Chains A and B, each alone.
Chain A
Amino acid sequence: MEDFTWRVGGPQGGGIETAATLFARAVAKGGWWVATKREYHSNIMGRHSYLDVRLARKPVAAFREKVDMLVALDGETLARHLDEVRSGGVILYDPRVLELTVHKLPMLDHRVAEVLSERFGKLDPSLKDLLAAYVESGVQPLPYPFEEVADRIGAELGVPSLQARRTLNTIAVAASLHFLGFPLEPLLEALALQFRGKVLELNQKVAEAVYREEVPRLSFQLHLNGYEPGRVYLTGAQAAALGKLAGGLRFQTYYPISPATDESTYLEAHTAFTGADVAVVQTEDEIAAVTMAVGAALTGAKSATATSGPGFSLMAEGMGFAGMIEAPLVVTLYQRGGPSTGLPTRTEQGDLQFALRGGHGEYPRLVLASGDIEDAFLDAQKALAWAWRYQTVVVHLLDKFLASMAQSLPKEALRVLQLDGEKRLLPKREGLAPYERYAPSEDGISPFIPIGTPGGFYWMTSDEHDLEGHITEDVVLREYQMEKRMQKLKTAQEEIPLEDQYTLFRDGEVLVLGWGTVKGTLLEALDHLPGVGYLHLRLLWPFPKIADLLEGKRIVTVEHNYSGQLADLVQQETLKRVHHRVVKYSGRPITLDEAVEVLRAVLAKEAPERLVLRKGV
């Protein structure tokens, strides 16, 4: 197999994440590059959740529409993923679930149950009916009694049933790999990454026992791909947290919110590492999170906060404050489905225009977006550096897809950047007199003076102010300060290297424009689309000067939102027409197959202006 996707589905809290991590590590130990995506409900336990692990011979960040192997750890998975396994693929399931009917799946959405009723022409189809449909579509059924196997192996090893059943995830992974003809050794190594001591011993014995049993050979097999050391496997939220540390973060605030919290809790858990001794404060709300980060920044501490849509709405006020008093501030925004509470655990890129414009009045802000794990690490460093260089707000956009996605990549990809350029006042040695915090400067940047700098003091106010930071409503001073602040945007646009603003991965008569997490999908789609180019936008504000690149092209934007927010931005900033806007707002990421299909239609001049993608469960 050159391209393989393994999917595991089951109830939330049942350990399917452990299973996916184990599978990903096992195949990675066998030399494959992997990417894992995670779909879950806003729920603690019980509701349906699933993960895809995709393998490839080169680094991968895109996901397929159909999977090669589905492991159903419960009956509901059978019901939800019908038509999601490719013809010729396999489904591994516990035959006991076949006794169930659709209406006996308490967490299944009514809509899905109704669709199934209609499809099978009965009020309450049984899971046997569903399985027959899988088979009809060319999927090979592999009954595998997970719990029975656990009990049997438990008895063999002299382990009580309850304890043996805790290894169900290992059994599911081991069985999958065994069916695929994949050697045992990498799995044992992967287990050693995951467990320690007695638990490791038990899990390894269980895996060995699974491998001792005879299983039918599948029509496709998964071979080793030549292991190379020096690779890491981590999520977007972890990469962003590490990037912040590499960028010198000292103070982080947050209010719990999905999917942003993972970043802050990672930081809280790793303060013992050298250079990672960050003060992390959980605040009462996001208003406090953003304003507390501003307070810390004023003393000279590199500060940031991380949130998702609803929290970002509350932060609009504090961000304007930072912009007005010229405080360096990084806001890491993990977008999720909106509006309002929306889809807390599903992906969306619906906050672009809000990130650019949110808040009253005008102040300079920089907005950058990460496309993958490597970007998340590098961008977090840039965000901090730019916030301090320009003494203003930098919004770093990620989304739920990237936050929870994990990717394997070479360790060298996580480069520590040498970014500097902060202007800081040299303190006076003697005397005591006010500092001019807003001293005139051609580039708009006055030297930064941390509160606590000896020799003086200054004032700051969220009101319009004079050079000393006192309130003023004077027309000349108002114009002067407004122009000084906004000048920083021009300076940033001139200073930020073009490669940090955008990347033209390939030129083409049809030119696709994307931002954020469509990157991995579109880059792989290019392999299937001669004649199609891809321009990936990294900096969204100040908006890069890309009009010349668009000249004479058929322009297509691809993004995860309803209206095509990038398309509007491109048209506004370049005065070029966007010919097709491809959007997806189901909360599920765009698959490789969808991207290829829709762009083929564009190439064939068979596509309307607006194209909505709807695949995924």
Chain B
Amino acid sequence: MLELKLADYKAEKQPDWCPGCGDYGILSALQMALFELRKDPSQTAVFSGIGCSAKTPHYLNVYGVHTLHGRVLPVAQGAKLANPHLTVVAVGGDGDGLGIGAGHFVAAGRRNVDMLYILYDNEVYGLTKGQAGPTLGFGEKTKSLPKPNPQGRINPLLLAFAAGYTWIGRGYAYDVKGLKELIKEGLSHKGLAFLHVLQPCPTYNDLHTKEWFAPRLYKLKDEGYDPHVPEGLPPEELDRKMAQFQEKAAEWGERIPIGVFWKAEVPTFEERLRAYLPRYPEVYPALGQREPLDLEGLLKEFAL
């Protein structure tokens, strides 16, 4: 393996995000995390949906696939399942993941494929000039909206929990160092990790700005919060963990927690595939058909 520097993870292509956009912080954190984990760029793939955040792969020197609006999770899961030795990261915005892609967001939780999904949440559809995103609260009116938002807000953490994500974290786009640590942890988690990133949109979201967030954010670990849910936890202990999670995940307004909320040990989809593909993941689809097909054997049940 080559000796790689942080700069090697940065593509020549320059981002075309607005000045001050939170995307820059997330991109830097992701580059640093990949570098610090010494991820081989040729064995790493970053998938994205559509939107400002979804341009991320173009600025990284790893395999990058900028997919369709809302469809990043199925594409990324397909790649990971076909080649389980890849490091796979999916990224996208709140509209991408929780609006048009909400069905895939939920279904991915049920599978627990071993990868990281980073959701950039700025509460607005930036690339189409600031319509309300699925995380903008009811009655909130950003400067780009003609009227207050008539629809309510999805809580991404609670939804991820209900869907079965096995690692749930939240970071802040301007806390690059903290975010980098969370990405590293999410990448190292065995199973599907969901990282919710709070991210001001300086162009369209004048409600939840850097100034609004700064005094409200606090770190869970500073309060002694333990997200770890070991396998085989007694039911009453599990109930306590779940109650603790729900309390913190629902907290919004005066105080907003960031950090790791939930970290559980659950068999990955790759492990579950073994039930009918016993040689998986040693033998995986991307390797191709390794032995000639036993057509004779398959035709026996049809013989006359």
Contact = CB atoms under 8 A, between A and B. Distances in A.
Nearest to B81: A279
B60 to A, nearest CB: 9
B293 A275 contact: yes
Interface in A18-66: 25, 28-29
A270 interface: yes
B304 to A, nearest CB: 4
Contacts of A98: none
A271 B276 contact: yes
Contact of B75 (A246, A278, A292, A456): A292
Contacts of B86: 299, 451-452
A452 B279 contact: no
B235 to A, nearest CB: 29
Contacts of B277: 271, 277, 279
B75 A471 contact: no
Contact of A294 (B41, B75, B106, B286): B75
Interface string B267-304: 00000010011011001111011111111011100111
Contact of B285 (A231, A283, A301, A457): A301
B64 interface: yes
B193 to A, nearest CB: 18
A276 B294 contact: yes
Given A279-B277, A459-B58, A452 B294 contact: no
Interface in B218-276: 273, 276
Interface stretch (B43-51, B132-140, B174-182, B207-215): B43-51
Given A284-B107, A295-B78, A452 B63 contact: yes
Interface stretch (A165-173, A197-205, A460-468, A569-577): A460-468
B293 A460 contact: no
A231 B304 CA distance: 6
Interface stretch (A70-78, A232-240, A483-491): A232-240
B304 A29 contact: yes
B42 interface: yes
B82 interface: yes
Interface string A189-233: 000010000000000000000000000000000000000010111
Contacts of B43: 452, 454
Contacts of A293: 78
B302 A232 contact: yes
A251 interface: yes
Interface string A296-337: 111111110000000000000110010001000000000000
B61 A248 contact: no
A434 interface: yes
A458 B80 CA distance: 17
B68 interface: yes
Interface in B14-64: 41-45, 47, 50, 55, 57-58, 61-64
Nearest to A24: B304
A49 B254 CA distance: 64
Contacts, number: 225
B78 A296 contact: yes
A287 B74 contact: yes
Interface centre among A28, A276, A295 (most CB of B within 10 A): A295
A251 B291 contact: no
Interface string A227-270: 00101111000100010011010110100000000000000101
A411 interface: yes
B294 A325 contact: no
Nearest to A454: B42
B83 interface: yes
A461 to B, nearest CB: 4
A510 B164 CA distance: 63
A291 B69 CA distance: 11
B216 interface: no
A298 B55 contact: no
Contacts of B103: 284-285, 287-288
B53 to A, nearest CB: 14
Given A432-B42, A452-B85, A459-B57, A242 B74 contact: no
Contacts of A419: none
Contacts of B170: none
A142 interface: no
Contact of B83 (A287, A318, A452, A460): A452
Contact of B79 (A277, A451, A461, A471): A451
Contacts of A279: 81-82, 273, 277, 280, 284-285
Given A232-B304, A279-B277, A284-B106, A295 B79 contact: yes
Given A408-B304, A460-B64, A292 B42 contact: no
B82 A299 contact: yes
B291 A299 contact: no
B74 A245 contact: no
A552 interface: no
Contact of A268 (B74, B79, B276): B276
A416 B299 CA distance: 13
Nearest to B4: A432
Given A250-B285, A288-B107, A460 B79 contact: no
Nearest to B80: A295
B57 A275 contact: no
Contacts of A295: 47, 65, 74-80, 82
20 contacts: A250-B285, A251-B82, A268-B276, A276-B298, A277-B279, A281-B78, A291-B68, A295-B78, A295-B79, A296-B285, A300-B82, A300-B286, A301-B288, A414-B299, A451-B63, A452-B42, A452-B286, A457-B64, A462-B67, A462-B68
Interface of B: 2, 4, 8, 13, 41-45, 47, 50, 55, 57-58, 61-68, 71, 73-83, 85-86, 103-104, 106-107, 273, 276-277, 279-280, 283-286, 288-295, 297-299, 302-304
Closest 3 CB pairs of A and B: A295-B78, A284-B107, A301-B285
